[in-house]
Structure 1
Amino acid sequence: MSPEVGMEIGKFVFFELLNSNRSAKWRIGNNINECQLCGKCQSVCPSDAISVSRHNRTWTLNNRRCDKCLQCVLKCSARCLTQVSR
């Protein structure tokens, strides 16, 4: 398989994952010990499901509001956001 074909397959799988429906069997998880509480994930969340408070040192995700677009995971510079099985 050529690298170009591999990249196209990878892009397809990635975008299918991004566009997955709300009934996914996973959720977004945060390794809070690694989290810098920078708020980048909150700023890119289209459904306003993430709340970050540096003052209180908290990170909260409203799973009912989360549309599982993974924008927060992609934006996280600390790489502490991941997919977690339900």
Structure 2
Amino acid sequence: MRPIVILILLLFIAAGVVLGALNADLVNYDLGFARLQLPKGAALLGALVIGWLLGGLTAWLGVSSKHRRQRRLQARKRDPKASADA
């Protein structure tokens, strides 16, 4: 299993290097408060990483709030007197 994961990781790294090399020309970004000039490949990979992180954070927050709500309901079912005192 581990060699397969390493192979997949190496393939993605190679694809990132090729993507960056083929898209080396600069692109201007005006964010309103700052102006950036980045290579196309770096901007694309940066957007991909930011999207991946924000998607993971959203999924984690949704799951963790659901679990927290379920634990609270289970605690109330187990000890209804303790939740009435609070």
Common fold: TM-score over 0.5: no
User: TM-score, structure 2 length as denominator?
Assistant: 0.26
Q: Name the TM-score, length of structure 1 as normaliser.
A: 0.26
The structure whose residues are more often strand, as a share, is 1
Determine which structure has more spread, i.e. the larger CA radius of gyration.
Answer: 2
